[in-house]
Amino acid sequence: MFNNARCQVISRISIICLLFILFSTVAALGFYGLNESTLSIIKDTFLPASTQESKTEPVESVRPDQPRYCLSEKIADLPPNDIALFDMFTVQERKAQGLPTALLEVDPFYGDKVAYLTFDDGPNKDNTPLVLEILRKNKIKATFFVLGTQVENNAELVKEIYQDGHAIGNHTYSHVYRELYQSPDIYIQQLYHNDELIKKILGVRPRISRAPGGSAGNFTKAYWPRLKSEGYIEVGWNVSSGDASAGKANDIRDNVISQLEANKALWSHAIILMHDGSGHGETVKALPAIIQYLKEQGFTFRVVNAQTPPAW
Protein backbone atom coordinates (compact mmCIF):
# COMPACT_ATOMS: atom_id res chain seq x y z
CA MET A 1 0.00 0.00 0.00
CA PHE A 2 2.82 2.31 1.01
CA ASN A 3 4.65 1.51 -2.24
CA ASN A 4 1.57 2.34 -4.34
CA ALA A 5 1.12 5.66 -2.55
CA ARG A 6 4.79 6.52 -3.06
CA CYS A 7 4.56 5.68 -6.79
CA GLN A 8 1.53 7.94 -7.14
CA VAL A 9 3.34 10.79 -5.43
CA ILE A 10 6.40 10.34 -7.68
CA SER A 11 4.19 10.24 -10.78
CA ARG A 12 2.43 13.46 -9.77
CA ILE A 13 5.75 15.19 -9.10
CA SER A 14 7.03 14.06 -12.53
CA ILE A 15 3.93 15.44 -14.24
CA ILE A 16 4.31 18.76 -12.42
CA CYS A 17 7.96 18.97 -13.52
CA LEU A 18 7.08 18.27 -17.13
CA LEU A 19 4.33 20.89 -17.05
CA PHE A 20 6.78 23.38 -15.58
CA ILE A 21 9.29 22.71 -18.38
CA LEU A 22 6.55 23.01 -21.00
CA PHE A 23 5.18 26.29 -19.68
CA SER A 24 8.73 27.66 -19.29
CA THR A 25 9.39 26.86 -22.95
CA VAL A 26 6.16 28.57 -24.05
CA ALA A 27 7.08 31.62 -21.97
CA ALA A 28 10.54 31.69 -23.57
CA LEU A 29 9.00 31.59 -27.02
CA GLY A 30 6.81 34.54 -26.15
CA PHE A 31 9.76 36.51 -24.86
CA TYR A 32 12.50 35.62 -27.38
CA GLY A 33 10.44 34.75 -30.45
CA LEU A 34 10.37 31.54 -32.47
CA ASN A 35 13.70 31.29 -34.20
CA GLU A 36 15.87 28.53 -35.59
CA SER A 37 17.94 28.25 -32.42
CA THR A 38 14.87 27.91 -30.21
CA LEU A 39 13.35 25.30 -32.50
CA SER A 40 16.58 23.32 -32.37
CA ILE A 41 16.51 23.32 -28.57
CA ILE A 42 12.87 22.18 -28.51
CA LYS A 43 13.55 19.42 -31.02
CA ASP A 44 16.60 18.17 -29.14
CA THR A 45 14.70 18.24 -25.84
CA PHE A 46 11.40 16.63 -26.77
CA LEU A 47 12.11 14.51 -29.84
CA PRO A 48 14.22 11.36 -29.73
CA ALA A 49 17.03 11.15 -32.29
CA SER A 50 15.22 8.43 -34.25
CA THR A 51 12.25 10.73 -34.97
CA GLN A 52 14.22 13.82 -35.96
CA GLU A 53 14.48 14.68 -39.63
CA SER A 54 17.69 13.32 -41.11
CA LYS A 55 19.84 15.69 -43.12
CA THR A 56 20.78 14.62 -46.64
CA GLU A 57 24.03 16.10 -47.87
CA PRO A 58 23.43 17.84 -51.22
CA VAL A 59 25.61 17.05 -54.21
CA GLU A 60 28.49 19.48 -54.15
CA SER A 61 28.57 21.74 -57.16
CA VAL A 62 31.51 21.95 -59.49
CA ARG A 63 34.06 24.46 -58.31
CA PRO A 64 33.61 27.89 -59.92
CA ASP A 65 36.82 27.52 -61.95
CA GLN A 66 35.65 24.18 -63.39
CA PRO A 67 32.79 25.01 -65.78
CA ARG A 68 30.38 22.48 -67.23
CA TYR A 69 27.14 22.77 -69.15
CA CYS A 70 23.85 21.16 -68.12
CA LEU A 71 20.99 20.92 -70.58
CA SER A 72 17.64 21.95 -69.14
CA GLU A 73 14.10 21.59 -70.52
CA LYS A 74 14.88 23.04 -73.93
CA ILE A 75 17.84 22.05 -76.05
CA ALA A 76 18.27 25.49 -77.55
CA ASP A 77 22.02 25.41 -77.84
CA LEU A 78 25.04 23.36 -76.87
CA PRO A 79 28.11 24.26 -74.80
CA PRO A 80 30.73 26.44 -76.45
CA ASN A 81 34.43 25.71 -76.44
CA ASP A 82 35.83 22.98 -74.21
CA ILE A 83 33.13 22.28 -71.64
CA ALA A 84 31.77 18.99 -70.37
CA LEU A 85 28.15 18.26 -71.33
CA PHE A 86 25.50 16.96 -68.93
CA ASP A 87 21.71 16.81 -68.79
CA MET A 88 19.37 17.61 -65.91
CA PHE A 89 16.93 14.97 -67.17
CA THR A 90 17.21 11.30 -68.03
CA VAL A 91 15.82 10.14 -71.37
CA GLN A 92 12.79 8.63 -69.63
CA GLU A 93 12.12 11.90 -67.80
CA ARG A 94 12.34 13.86 -71.04
CA LYS A 95 9.90 11.52 -72.74
CA ALA A 96 7.48 11.54 -69.80
CA GLN A 97 7.42 15.36 -69.79
CA GLY A 98 7.26 15.73 -73.56
CA LEU A 99 10.72 17.31 -73.73
CA PRO A 100 13.09 16.92 -76.69
CA THR A 101 15.62 14.10 -76.53
CA ALA A 102 17.66 14.50 -79.72
CA LEU A 103 20.51 17.00 -79.73
CA LEU A 104 21.01 19.81 -82.19
CA GLU A 105 23.48 19.28 -84.99
CA VAL A 106 26.72 21.19 -84.42
CA ASP A 107 29.88 21.60 -86.44
CA PRO A 108 32.76 19.45 -85.17
CA PHE A 109 35.83 21.20 -83.82
CA TYR A 110 39.08 20.42 -85.61
CA GLY A 111 42.15 22.13 -84.14
CA ASP A 112 45.78 22.07 -85.13
CA LYS A 113 46.92 19.80 -82.31
CA VAL A 114 44.11 18.62 -80.04
CA ALA A 115 44.23 15.63 -77.69
CA TYR A 116 41.33 13.98 -75.90
CA LEU A 117 42.51 11.77 -73.05
CA THR A 118 39.80 9.18 -72.36
CA PHE A 119 39.63 6.54 -69.65
CA ASP A 120 37.29 3.53 -69.72
CA ASP A 121 35.96 0.99 -67.22
CA GLY A 122 36.27 3.01 -64.01
CA PRO A 123 36.02 4.49 -61.58
CA ASN A 124 38.40 2.30 -59.64
CA LYS A 125 39.54 2.94 -56.07
CA ASP A 126 43.19 2.15 -56.87
CA ASN A 127 43.77 3.76 -60.26
CA THR A 128 41.27 6.59 -60.69
CA PRO A 129 42.54 8.72 -57.76
CA LEU A 130 46.08 8.50 -59.15
CA VAL A 131 44.91 9.47 -62.64
CA LEU A 132 43.00 12.44 -61.21
CA GLU A 133 46.06 13.60 -59.29
CA ILE A 134 48.25 13.45 -62.43
CA LEU A 135 45.65 15.44 -64.36
CA ARG A 136 45.48 18.06 -61.60
CA LYS A 137 49.25 18.48 -61.54
CA ASN A 138 49.23 19.01 -65.31
CA LYS A 139 46.09 21.19 -65.28
CA ILE A 140 44.42 18.93 -67.83
CA LYS A 141 40.79 17.95 -68.25
CA ALA A 142 39.97 14.45 -69.52
CA THR A 143 36.96 12.24 -70.17
CA PHE A 144 35.94 9.23 -68.06
CA PHE A 145 33.60 6.62 -69.55
CA VAL A 146 32.25 5.01 -66.40
CA LEU A 147 30.67 1.58 -65.89
CA GLY A 148 27.47 1.23 -63.92
CA THR A 149 28.83 -1.64 -61.86
CA GLN A 150 31.74 0.60 -60.80
CA VAL A 151 29.57 3.66 -60.29
CA GLU A 152 27.51 1.72 -57.75
CA ASN A 153 30.59 1.05 -55.61
CA ASN A 154 32.50 4.31 -56.09
CA ALA A 155 30.08 7.20 -55.74
CA GLU A 156 32.69 9.49 -54.16
CA LEU A 157 35.04 9.01 -57.09
CA VAL A 158 32.24 9.87 -59.52
CA LYS A 159 31.72 13.11 -57.58
CA GLU A 160 35.46 13.82 -57.61
CA ILE A 161 35.68 13.38 -61.39
CA TYR A 162 32.72 15.72 -61.82
CA GLN A 163 33.96 18.32 -59.35
CA ASP A 164 37.35 18.47 -61.05
CA GLY A 165 35.65 19.56 -64.28
CA HIS A 166 36.22 16.40 -66.30
CA ALA A 167 33.68 15.00 -68.71
CA ILE A 168 31.82 11.82 -67.81
CA GLY A 169 30.54 9.35 -70.38
CA ASN A 170 28.20 6.38 -70.16
CA HIS A 171 30.04 3.07 -70.74
CA THR A 172 26.88 0.97 -70.14
CA TYR A 173 26.06 -0.85 -66.94
CA SER A 174 27.68 -4.28 -67.24
CA HIS A 175 30.26 -4.32 -70.09
CA VAL A 176 29.15 -7.93 -70.77
CA TYR A 177 29.08 -8.26 -74.56
CA ARG A 178 26.67 -11.20 -74.72
CA GLU A 179 24.14 -9.14 -72.79
CA LEU A 180 24.77 -5.74 -74.35
CA TYR A 181 24.67 -6.52 -78.02
CA GLN A 182 21.57 -8.69 -78.30
CA SER A 183 19.59 -5.74 -79.67
CA PRO A 184 19.50 -1.91 -79.69
CA ASP A 185 16.72 -2.02 -77.08
CA ILE A 186 18.82 -3.98 -74.60
CA TYR A 187 21.83 -1.74 -75.21
CA ILE A 188 19.74 1.39 -74.62
CA GLN A 189 18.29 -0.08 -71.43
CA GLN A 190 21.83 -0.49 -70.08
CA LEU A 191 22.54 3.15 -70.89
CA TYR A 192 19.33 4.13 -69.08
CA HIS A 193 20.33 2.13 -66.01
CA ASN A 194 23.76 3.74 -65.81
CA ASP A 195 22.29 7.21 -66.38
CA GLU A 196 20.01 6.73 -63.39
CA LEU A 197 22.92 5.66 -61.18
CA ILE A 198 25.01 8.66 -62.21
CA LYS A 199 22.14 11.11 -61.78
CA LYS A 200 21.41 9.76 -58.32
CA ILE A 201 24.96 10.76 -57.34
CA LEU A 202 25.41 14.00 -59.27
CA GLY A 203 21.93 15.31 -59.98
CA VAL A 204 22.77 15.25 -63.69
CA ARG A 205 23.64 12.56 -66.24
CA PRO A 206 26.02 12.41 -69.22
CA ARG A 207 25.07 12.78 -72.87
CA ILE A 208 28.14 11.07 -74.31
CA SER A 209 28.52 7.29 -74.45
CA ARG A 210 31.05 4.71 -75.56
CA ALA A 211 30.29 1.12 -76.52
CA PRO A 212 32.44 -1.44 -74.67
CA GLY A 213 34.84 -2.91 -77.20
CA GLY A 214 33.84 -0.18 -79.65
CA SER A 215 30.91 0.00 -82.04
CA ALA A 216 32.73 -1.77 -84.91
CA GLY A 217 31.73 -5.40 -84.97
CA ASN A 218 29.18 -4.89 -82.19
CA PHE A 219 26.65 -2.42 -83.61
CA THR A 220 24.34 -3.19 -86.49
CA LYS A 221 22.92 -0.33 -88.57
CA ALA A 222 19.88 -0.29 -86.30
CA TYR A 223 21.88 1.02 -83.33
CA TRP A 224 22.83 4.38 -84.82
CA PRO A 225 19.41 5.95 -85.46
CA ARG A 226 18.23 4.71 -82.08
CA LEU A 227 21.15 6.33 -80.28
CA LYS A 228 20.59 9.58 -82.18
CA SER A 229 16.88 9.73 -81.38
CA GLU A 230 17.63 9.10 -77.69
CA GLY A 231 20.17 11.93 -77.74
CA TYR A 232 23.35 9.95 -77.03
CA ILE A 233 26.65 10.96 -78.61
CA GLU A 234 28.58 7.75 -79.33
CA VAL A 235 32.33 8.30 -79.02
CA GLY A 236 35.02 6.07 -80.48
CA TRP A 237 38.79 6.48 -80.52
CA ASN A 238 41.56 6.74 -83.08
CA VAL A 239 44.62 6.16 -80.89
CA SER A 240 44.75 3.04 -78.74
CA SER A 241 47.21 2.84 -75.88
CA GLY A 242 47.03 -0.94 -76.04
CA ASP A 243 46.71 -1.04 -72.28
CA ALA A 244 44.05 -3.76 -72.48
CA SER A 245 46.94 -6.18 -73.03
CA ALA A 246 49.67 -7.11 -70.56
CA GLY A 247 51.94 -4.32 -71.77
CA LYS A 248 54.15 -2.38 -69.40
CA ALA A 249 54.18 1.40 -68.99
CA ASN A 250 56.88 1.91 -71.64
CA ASP A 251 54.89 -0.18 -74.13
CA ILE A 252 51.74 1.83 -73.49
CA ARG A 253 53.60 5.12 -73.95
CA ASP A 254 55.27 3.87 -77.14
CA ASN A 255 51.93 2.67 -78.56
CA VAL A 256 50.45 6.14 -78.27
CA ILE A 257 53.51 7.95 -79.62
CA SER A 258 54.03 5.58 -82.58
CA GLN A 259 50.41 5.91 -83.75
CA LEU A 260 50.50 9.68 -83.55
CA GLU A 261 53.83 9.89 -85.34
CA ALA A 262 52.62 7.55 -88.08
CA ASN A 263 49.40 9.48 -88.79
CA LYS A 264 49.61 13.19 -88.20
CA ALA A 265 46.17 13.64 -89.76
CA LEU A 266 44.91 12.55 -86.35
CA TRP A 267 46.56 15.47 -84.61
CA SER A 268 43.50 17.65 -85.20
CA HIS A 269 41.42 15.35 -82.99
CA ALA A 270 43.51 12.64 -81.33
CA ILE A 271 41.07 10.63 -79.19
CA ILE A 272 43.29 8.45 -77.03
CA LEU A 273 41.88 5.30 -75.46
CA MET A 274 43.16 4.30 -72.02
CA HIS A 275 41.70 2.51 -69.00
CA ASP A 276 41.51 3.37 -65.31
CA GLY A 277 39.69 0.19 -64.29
CA SER A 278 41.02 -2.66 -62.21
CA GLY A 279 44.39 -4.06 -63.31
CA HIS A 280 45.55 -0.95 -65.16
CA GLY A 281 48.28 0.29 -62.88
CA GLU A 282 50.70 0.37 -65.82
CA THR A 283 48.47 2.94 -67.53
CA VAL A 284 48.83 5.18 -64.50
CA LYS A 285 52.60 4.81 -64.71
CA ALA A 286 52.60 5.62 -68.45
CA LEU A 287 50.29 8.65 -68.23
CA PRO A 288 52.87 11.30 -67.19
CA ALA A 289 55.13 10.36 -70.11
CA ILE A 290 52.21 10.44 -72.56
CA ILE A 291 51.20 13.88 -71.34
CA GLN A 292 54.80 15.09 -71.53
CA TYR A 293 55.08 13.96 -75.15
CA LEU A 294 51.81 15.66 -76.10
CA LYS A 295 52.83 18.90 -74.41
CA GLU A 296 56.22 18.86 -76.13
CA GLN A 297 54.46 18.54 -79.49
CA GLY A 298 52.26 21.53 -78.68
CA PHE A 299 48.95 19.72 -78.13
CA THR A 300 46.07 21.29 -76.26
CA PHE A 301 43.71 19.11 -74.24
CA ARG A 302 39.93 19.03 -74.49
CA VAL A 303 37.08 17.05 -72.98
CA VAL A 304 34.75 15.07 -75.22
CA ASN A 305 31.46 16.84 -75.88
CA ALA A 306 29.03 17.51 -78.73
CA GLN A 307 31.72 19.31 -80.75
CA THR A 308 34.22 16.45 -80.66
CA PRO A 309 34.69 15.14 -84.22
CA PRO A 310 34.07 11.51 -85.13
CA ALA A 311 37.19 9.47 -84.50
CA TRP A 312 37.47 8.48 -88.16
Q: What is the pLDDT of residues 104-149, one digit of tens each?
A: 888 999 999 999 999 999 999 999 999 999 999 999 999 999 999 9
Which domain range does residue 39 map to? Answer: 2-46
| Mean pLDDT score across all residues of the chain | 84
Residue 18 shares a structural domain with residue 94: no
The count of other CB atoms within 10 Å of the CB of residue 152 is: 14
**185 belongs to a structural domain:** yes
CA distance 235 to 269: 12
The count of other CB atoms within 10 Å of the CB of residue 187 is: 24
Residue 102 shares a structural domain with residue 172: yes
259-298 pLDDT, tens digit per residue, is 999 999 999 999 999 999 999 999 999 999 999 999 999 9
Cα–Cα distances in angstroms (integers) from residue 79 to residues 62, 268, 306, in the given order: 16, 20, 8
Query: Catalytic one among 121, 275, 276, 280?
Result: 275
Omega before 123 within 30 of 0, i.e. cis: yes
Count the domains in the chain: 2
H/E element, 272: strand 270-275
- DSSP-based helix, strand, coil % in the chain, nearest 5: 45, 15, 40
pTM above the 0.85 mark? no
CATH number, domain at 167?
3.20.20.370
Q: Which residues of 263-278 are buried (b: 16+ CB within 10 A; e: fewer)?
A: eeebbebbbbbbbbbe
CA angle 238, 241, 246 (to 5 degrees): 140
Residue 84 shares a structural domain with residue 169: yes
Residue 126 shares a structural domain with residue 18: no
175 is catalytic: no
Residue 163 shares a structural domain with residue 266: yes
Residue 250 shares a structural domain with residue 216: yes
Residue 31 shares a structural domain with residue 111: no
Q: Please list the residues that pair with 87 across neighbouring strands.
A: 71, 205
**311 belongs to a structural domain:** no
Query: Catalytic one among 120, 121, 243, 276?
Result: 120
The least confident of 75-79, 115-119, 170-174 is 75-79
**56 belongs to a structural domain:** no
- Residues in CB range of 304: below 8 A, 6 or more apart: 116, 118, 143, 167, 169, 208, 233, 235, 271
Residue 102 shares a structural domain with residue 179: yes
CA distance 220 to 183: 9
Residue 269 shares a structural domain with residue 185: yes
Residue 32 shares a structural domain with residue 128: no
251 is catalytic: no
**312 belongs to a structural domain:** no
Residue 166 shares a structural domain with residue 85: yes
**90 belongs to a structural domain:** yes
